[in-house]
Amino acid sequence: MKLLLDLLPVIFFFGTYKIAGIYPDESLVLAANWLGNDIPEGQAPILIATFVAIVATALQIAIVWLKHRKVDRMLWVSLIVITIFGGLTLVFRNEIFIQWKFSVFYWLLGLALLGSHALFRRNLIKRMLEAQISLPEPVWSRLNLAWVLFFILLGMLNLYVAYHFSQNAWMNFKLFGCTALILVFSLAQGLYLSKHLIDDGNAVNSDATSKPLH
């Protein structure tokens, strides 16, 4: 259920784009009613999908608030970023802004991980996972850096696809490609961490210390 909620804006974005693409004439009329008559040819599906994604992100935050009475900071960041870049896409009738949105968000995630560790000595990856697993401190640091680099590269790859492939190809990459890359990276991370887990306070590799890490 949580995974579905996390993917809610992306699912609505992708689904709306595909449905609007099946009915181009109706989509053009709808987009014109919302945004005016100066809709570039073929841009109606991405414009409608962008509007729906903004609404879906706001809905996601509302659901989280009603359920938990608090909202994670990155969800607010996501809403701000998609509202800004999605708004620019709607105003200028240009999909490149919403395509940049995803890269900017990935880079902000990487910056948050890097900045928190460098400036405040807080490893956000460790804070999320330490209740489930115990690792030597150097491994936590490498894991945090690995996610920083992954988000930077994912943002760069997103822009490469956006500028070198069709709008439809980029949309498929956004949903399937990015999701697959995150899944593969997470699985690879799991294999790496399995070699460094601490069992009953004792490390199984040379990175561990004799003192429990709690």
Q: What is the pLDDT of residues 69-87, one digit of tens each?
A: 999 988 999 999 999 999 9
Domain positions in the chain are 1-94, 120-214
pTM given for the model: 0.85
State residue 208's pLDDT score. 39
3-state secondary structure of 153: helix
pLDDT digits (tens, 9 = 90+) for 177-213: 999 999 999 999 888 888 877 654 444 344 433 333 3
Here the tokens at position 170 are 């980029």
d(CA 120, CA 157): 29
Instruction: Report the alpha-carbon distance of residue 10 to residue 16 in Å, rounded.
Output: 10
Describe the crossing of helices 24-35 and 8-22 by its angle, rounded to 10 degrees: 120
Helices and strands (H and E) in the chain: how many:
10, 2
Name the β-bridge partners of 203.
198
Q: Which two tokens stand for residue 169?
A: 């190809």
Number of residues that this document lists for the chain: 214
**Residues 30-81 pLDDT 10s:** 999 988 888 998 899 999 999 999 999 999 999 999 998 999 988 999 999 9
Which DSSP category does 198 fall into? E
Position 2 scores a pLDDT of 66
Q: Which of 45, 50, 46 has the alpha carbon at shortest distance from 84?
A: 50
- Express each pLDDT in 16-31 by its tens digit: 999 999 999 999 999 9
Kindly state the tokens that stand for 30: 């709808």
